[in-house]
């Protein structure tokens, strides 16, 4: 285990997260497996030689506790922020913003900031990857601060906005932590509980996901084969297995970065 690169994968209970564990273990990685509660995390670990970590990503104290668990586990080479949510709920999380903002944007930023120094000290090539979505390209508006007030919208509403904001967060984190390589990637349209089994998903797409969507295993390869074989510039957004080079992407612009700062302010966080 000492000579293996160590990866923390959030949201690893099933779907893409579980497929990522198996995919990266086959590539020689050692996995720190995160789910919301301790019992499920320890079940995933079983006798596979993994480390269980846990915490609710909508609660600031549990994100901090998760970071402390990861630090206590030893060196850390890679964080994969796979945990995500697609919902019509108007509930808010512990930072006072809607769940799309909490899980898809705020949690990756807070956890990365908490672990960046540890990664820089313990890894020769620390990498952070946010599993975003091509839905970011369909965001009708890039008012990321709107995520603070959930409006009950789903895929083409606040979910898409949150994934665009997640890409903006990658750009911001890459500027903050020059010692780390930080990326966004996307899995494509995948049959998981978030799509085929999610009543908050538009019904047509929920039905389509059962027929034409990719498998989690193929999604894992789509997300990470490129990053395992290439070294793109930090802050890159990877879509369809290559660097997304649209210079007009709002998440990279002054407007997008300003809107991300507004969301962080609403969450009571430094921008």
Say how far apart CA 221 and CA 54 lie, in whole Å. Answer: 25
pLDDT digits (tens, 9 = 90+) for 1-21: 568 999 999 999 888 888 999
Between the alpha carbon of residue 46 and those of residues 41, 50, 58, 97, 176, the distances in Å are 9, 8, 26, 35, 37
Cβ contacts of 39 within 8 Å, gap of 6 or more: none
Domains assigned to the chain: 6-266 (3.40.50.720)
For the segment 132-140, the average pLDDT, to the nearest whole number, is 85
Q: Which residue has the tokens 């120094």?
A: 117
Q: What does the DSSP 8-state code read for residue 250?
A: G
β-strand partners of 98 = 92
Which CA distances in Å does 226 have to 12, 62, 142, 223, 231? 21, 32, 28, 7, 9
209-230 tens-digit pLDDT: 565 556 778 888 888 999 999 9
CA distance to 84, 103, 117, 170, per residue, from 251 (Å): 19, 18, 25, 9
Ramachandran region, residue 214 (left: φ > 0; alpha: ψ -120 to 50; beta: rest): beta
Which burial class, exposed, middle or buried, applies to 48 when counting CB atoms under 10 A from its CB (0-12, 13-18, 19+)?
exposed
Looking at the whole model, is its pTM more than 0.85?
yes
Token pair of 179 as six digits: 């010692």
Q: Over the stretch 42-77, which tens digit does the pLDDT of each residue have?
A: 888 877 889 999 999 999 999 999 999 999 999 999
Cα 186 to chain centroid, rounded = 10
Query: Rounded to the nearest 5 degrees, what angle is found at the Cα of 252, between the Cα atoms of 192 and 58?
Result: 45
pLDDT in tens, 183-209: 999 876 555 555 545 566 566 655 555
């Amino acid at each position: 285990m000492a000579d293996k690169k160590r990866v923390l994968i959030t949201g690893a209970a099933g779907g893409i997260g579980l497929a990522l564990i198996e995919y990266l273990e086959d590539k020689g990685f050692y996995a720190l497996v995160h789910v919301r509660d301790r019992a499920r995390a320890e079940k995933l670990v079983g006798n596979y030689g993994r480390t269980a970590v846990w915490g609710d990503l909508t609660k600031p104290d549990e994100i901090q506790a998760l970071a402390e668990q990861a630090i206590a586990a030893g060196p850390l080479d890679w964080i994969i922020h796979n945990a995500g949510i697609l919902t019509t709920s108007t509930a808010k999380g512990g930072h006072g913003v809607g769940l799309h903002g909490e899980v898809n944007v705020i949690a990756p930023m807070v956890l990365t900031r908490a672990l960046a120094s540890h990664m820089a000290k313990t890894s020769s090539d620390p990498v952070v990857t946010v599993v975003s979505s091509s839905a970011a390209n369909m965001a009708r508006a890039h008012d990321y601060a709107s995520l603070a007030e959930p409006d009950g919208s789903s895929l083409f509403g606040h979910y898409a906005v949150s994934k665009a904001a997640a890409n903006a967060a990658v750009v911001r984190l890459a500027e903050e932590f020059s010692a780390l390589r930080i990326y966004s990637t996307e899995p494509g349209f995948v049959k998981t509980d978030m799509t085929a089994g999610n009543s908050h998903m538009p019904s047509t797409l929920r039905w389509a996901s059962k027929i034409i969507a990719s498998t989690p295993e193929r999604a894992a390869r789509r997300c990470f084969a490129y990053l395992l074989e290439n070294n793109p510039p930090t802050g890159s957004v990877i879509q369809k297995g290559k660097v997304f080079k649209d210079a007009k992407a709002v998440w990279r612009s002054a407007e997008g970065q300003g809107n991300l700062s507004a969301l962080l302010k609403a969450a009571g966080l430094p921008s």
